[in-house]
Amino acid sequence: MRRLDRYILKEVVLAWLAVTGVLLAILLTNQVAAVLERAADNQYPRSAVLTLIGLSTVQNLPVVVPIGLLLGVVLAFGRLWHESEMTAAQACGVGLARIYVPITGLALVVTACLAWLTLDLAPRAAEHAYALRNEALRSGQFSAIVPGQFRSFGGGGIVIYARGAAPDGTLDRVFIKRSRGEAVEVTLAARASHAISADGTLHTITLYDGVRYEGIPGSSRFRIMRFAEQVLPVRLPDLALGRQRVEAVPTRALLASRASADRAELHWRVALPLMAITLTLLAVPLSRLRPRQSRYSRVWIAVLIYFLYSNLASAGRVWIERGVVPEWLGLWWVHVALIAFALLVMAVPRVAARLRYRAEAAA
């Protein structure tokens, strides 16, 4: 029996790691695109980009692992049923309870790791990501204009480019584009100086020997103004952190809080590890195949069940936050509903077999 347990566990673990790796690669692709877009818009330092990608992966990993485990069990047992290995094991007296032994052990280990991730590591990663993002924005405010690179202020409302710089810091051949509603101002200057206030929120750009074009794109009305010197102040918003986001609040603080948003976040953190063990309970009977049925025929059912399960949990989280569902009920009703469905899936083949046996005996 131990050899059979090791064999089943090996098949499930390999399939689970393969599915989780693919899902994590897709997640990383989306996260890299989002972080790079935000870094380009807010002038993040290069050193902060990889760290933000890693922290974002840690925050989203608890969402990927449960569906990876569900699909891993379904694919592994689908192969065993398709190649009649499970049929041979049952013919040797191996029952469903025995099959659950290695799978339950794996599910308990994954659940414990997910509990550590969601209750401790993910909140600390979120807090570190917010602090790093704020520090990157602040360092971007204090940084000077680099020749040969476009620099944007105010979310792209002002774009500045300098072709070169003198040894004393004076910028040469400066281009500035500024948007004011529908109107656009384009300024070209031979030289410019750049000064930053002590708090980094005010950038003063002094332009020399230039020309400014003002107008509305698509319109024939525009104005040209030449100048010998022009001062362009750029005021940046304050980077005060404000209220800490709920996903970065430590779990101990959530336990002590009575706010509806904090309680909803607490129930969500507890729900993610429970998803792993409840989905594993369902995956074993769900993966049972009929003769000549494809080994992948139950995958779409597993994906559908996961999306219904996760969407119900997400909706329940919002309902707790809005007071629609009482806080004491939490998200437990979602887990109970899935466990009841899993028990029903396990009971249907047995009941059908007994009814078929009675019908054959009566005939």
Pair (83, 218) in one structural domain: no
Task: Give domain status of residue 115, yes or no.
Answer: yes
Q: What is the pLDDT of residue 116?
A: 93
Pair (220, 249) in one structural domain: no
Q: Which of 235, 258, 293 is where one domain is finished?
A: 235
Task: Give domain status of residue 149, yes or no.
Answer: no
Whether the predicted model's global pTM rises above the 0.75 cut: no
Pair (221, 286) in one structural domain: no
Q: Which of 199, 216, 235 is where one domain is finished?
A: 235
Task: Give domain status of residue 219, yes or no.
Answer: yes
Amino acid at 313: A
Pair (12, 129) in one structural domain: yes
Q: What is the pLDDT of residue 43?
A: 59
Task: Give domain status of residue 221, yes or no.
Answer: yes
Q: What is the pLDDT of residue 290?
A: 75
Pair (253, 286) in one structural domain: yes
Q: Which of 189, 215, 235 is where one domain is finished?
A: 235
What range defines the domain where residue 349 resides?
Answer: 2-139+244-362
Pair (9, 107) in one structural domain: yes
> Cα(first)–Cα(last) distance of the chain, in Å?
38
For residues 266 and 251, is the Cβ–Cβ distance under 8 A?
yes
Q: What is the pLDDT of residue 243?
A: 42
What phi and psi, each to the nearest 5 degrees, are found at residue 149?
A: -130, 140
In three-state secondary structure terms, 239 is coil
Q: What is the pLDDT of residue 54?
A: 79
Pair (250, 228) in one structural domain: no
The closest alpha carbon to 137, from 269, 39, 282, 34, belongs to 39
Task: Give domain status of residue 24, yes or no.
Answer: yes
Amino acid at 204: T
Pair (82, 130) in one structural domain: yes
Pair (29, 123) in one structural domain: yes
**DSSP conformation letters of 149-216:** S-EEETTTTEEEEEEEE-TTS-EEEEEEEEEETTEEEEEEEEEEEEEE-TTS-EEEEEEEEEEEEEE-
pLDDT in tens, the chain (363 residues): 578 778 888 888 898 899 988 888 888 787 777 767 666 655 566 667 777 777 878 888 888 889 999 999 888 888 887 777 777 777 777 776 777 788 888 889 999 999 999 999 988 888 888 877 777 666 655 556 767 777 776 555 778 888 888 777 788 888 888 887 778 888 888 888 877 777 666 778 888 888 988 888 877 778 888 888 888 887 765 554 444 578 888 888 888 888 888 888 899 999 999 998 899 888 888 887 777 777 788 888 888 999 999 999 999 999 998 888 888 888 899 989 888 888 887 776 666 667 676 766 666
Q: What is the pLDDT of residues 318-348, one digit of tens each?
A: 999 888 888 888 889 998 988 888 888 777 6
Task: Give domain status of residue 145, yes or no.
Answer: no
Burial of 182 (0-12, 13-18, 19+ CB in 10 A): exposed
Task: Give domain status of residue 148, yes or no.
Answer: no
Q: What is the pLDDT of residue 11?
A: 86
Task: Give domain status of residue 84, yes or no.
Answer: yes
What phi and psi, each to the nearest 5 degrees, are found at residue 91?
A: -65, -25
Which bin fits 172, alpha (ψ -120 to 50), beta or left (φ > 0)? beta
Pair (130, 161) in one structural domain: no
Greatest pairwise CA separation for the chain in angstroms? 107
Pair (267, 336) in one structural domain: yes
Pair (192, 287) in one structural domain: no
* Beta strands per DSSP E along 183-331: 183-196, 202-215, 222-235
- The number of distinct structural domains making up the chain is 2
